[in-house]
Copies of this chain bind each other. A is one copy, B any other.
Amino acid sequence: MADLRFGIIGWGYWGPKIARNLESVSHASVSMVADLDKHRVAMVASQQPGMRTTTEINELLASDVDGVVIATPVRTHYQLAKQALLRGKHVLVEKPLTANVEEAEELVSLARQVGRVLMVGHTFEYSPAVNEMRKLVQSGELGKIYCVEAERVNLGLFRRDINVIWDLAPHDVSILLYLFGQTPTQVRVQANAHLLPHIHDVAHLDLGFSDGMTAHIHVSWLHPCKIRRVTVIGDARMVVYDDTNPAEMVKIYNKGADVNVDPVVSYRHGAITIPHIDWMEPLRLECEDFANAIRTGEPPRASGEVGLSVVRVLASAQQALDMSARAGIVTAVPA
């Protein structure tokens, strides 16, 4: 099997993590790191003596790496990914894929033209717990799905360039799309910029799907507790996925309410089941999927198309937020 060489653009939070995981993929290695910050580059060079480093991103793009990982601020994703594709590189872009729909569409189209892999870092699609949830949804075990409640809150980390929707909601939107295989048809947003002007730090999104299912997503940078939870409410079973509880990540509740004539509603209270999940690091699986897609030509799970769908939802949410700010579509409470 031919060895794959990868280059990493951006050595912030995600760059080193992805590099470490790519290194553990067999017949794959990271051969070059680029970052605009010369201090970061110097640090890489001192810690990993054999590693080629540069502050010139073009140098990395012009090198012989097979694949490029783009772990930079969102606003730069489009330009960097475009250049990399044009140079014939396979590309893995951190989420969200781009800052708007047009850019994402262009990248997807370009990747198809040049015949290269375009992938987005939707790590949660590779989580064994999310895949356990997906199996439950897809098998029909949960019955008809009424609604989903997703929560992803914690203190910080504030970003200057994007709001909390673009920062945190890509996770939940990509999970929803992956679980249900459909995109929402409408979205409503309630968000606030409490700390910095114009940078919304708390948001509630309501998504509507064509089959009547609804989803609520609560994302926040201003919360004392770390909560990462997705609850799926079906008419046969209800499931809670709690990413912060390793020993009990997925809990299946055999309970529910059934519609009758008299009394109108009756309740089922059955057992709770916590399946054993063979845990594997999602980021590791993501990196393996990237290498595999390059080798086989098969599209990766978190393909550019998936990344585009997520950006469509985020962009609609942003539009809803902008409109509601202008239109003031709220109901006054009389004093």
**Which residues of A pack against B, CB within 8 Å?**
49-50, 101, 146-147, 149, 155-156, 158, 160, 183-190, 192, 194-196, 202, 204, 206-208, 214, 216, 218, 220-226, 231, 233, 238-240, 247-248, 251, 253-257, 259, 264-265, 267, 269-276, 312-313, 316-317, 319-320, 323, 329-335
**24 examples of A-B residue contacts, CB within 8 angstroms:** A49-B50, A101-B334, A146-B195, A146-B222, A149-B218, A155-B256, A155-B257, A155-B269, A156-B265, A187-B331, A187-B333, A189-B331, A190-B216, A196-B259, A223-B231, A224-B239, A271-B274, A271-B275, A272-B276, A273-B274, A274-B274, A312-B333, A316-B333, A320-B330
Number of copies: 4
Contact of A331 among B50, B183, B186 (CB under 8 A): B186
In the assembled complex, the Cα of A317 lies from the Cα of B269 at a distance in Å of 32
Contact of A264 among B185, B188, B196, B208 (CB under 8 A): B196
The 10 closest A-B pairs by CB, nearest first: A320-B331, A224-B253, A224-B238, A272-B274, A146-B194, A158-B265, A186-B330, A190-B206, A316-B333, A271-B275
Residues of B close to A188: CB separation below 8 A: 190, 329-331
Cβ–Cβ contact B187 & A330, under 8 A: yes
Residues of B close to A259: CB separation below 8 A: 195-196
Cβ–Cβ contact B226 & A233, under 8 A: no
Residues of B close to A255: CB separation below 8 A: 155, 224, 276
Contact of A214 among B49, B184, B192 (CB under 8 A): B192
- Which residue on chain B has the smallest CB distance to residue A225? B240
In the assembled complex, the Cα of A222 lies from the Cα of B145 at a distance in Å of 11
In the assembled complex, the Cα of A187 lies from the Cα of B208 at a distance in Å of 20
In the assembled complex, the Cα of A233 lies from the Cα of B320 at a distance in Å of 25
Given contacts A155-B255, A158-B265, 10 further A-B contacts (CB under 8 A): A146-B222, A147-B202, A149-B220, A155-B256, A186-B330, A188-B330, A224-B253, A270-B276, A273-B274, A320-B330
Give min CB distance, A136 to chain B, whole Å.
13
Contact of A223 among B238, B267, B332 (CB under 8 A): B238
Residues of B close to A224: CB separation below 8 A: 231, 233, 238-240, 251, 253, 255
- Which residue on chain B has the smallest CB distance to residue A272? B274
Residues of B close to A221: CB separation below 8 A: 257
Asked whether A156 and B257 contact (CB < 8 A) given A183-B333, A186-B331, A316-B331, the answer is: yes
Give min CB distance, A182 to chain B, whole Å.
10
Residues of B close to A186: CB separation below 8 A: 330-333
Cβ–Cβ contact A247 & B276, under 8 A: no
Give min CB distance, A123 to chain B, whole Å.
20
In the assembled complex, the Cα of A235 lies from the Cα of B274 at a distance in Å of 20
In the assembled complex, the Cα of A265 lies from the Cα of B184 at a distance in Å of 34
Give min CB distance, A280 to chain B, whole Å.
14
Asked whether A226 and B214 contact (CB < 8 A) given A185-B333, A186-B332, the answer is: no
| Max count, chain B CB within 10 A of own CB: residue among A225, A226, A323 | A225
Cβ–Cβ contact B257 & A222, under 8 A: yes
In the assembled complex, the Cα of A187 lies from the Cα of B233 at a distance in Å of 26
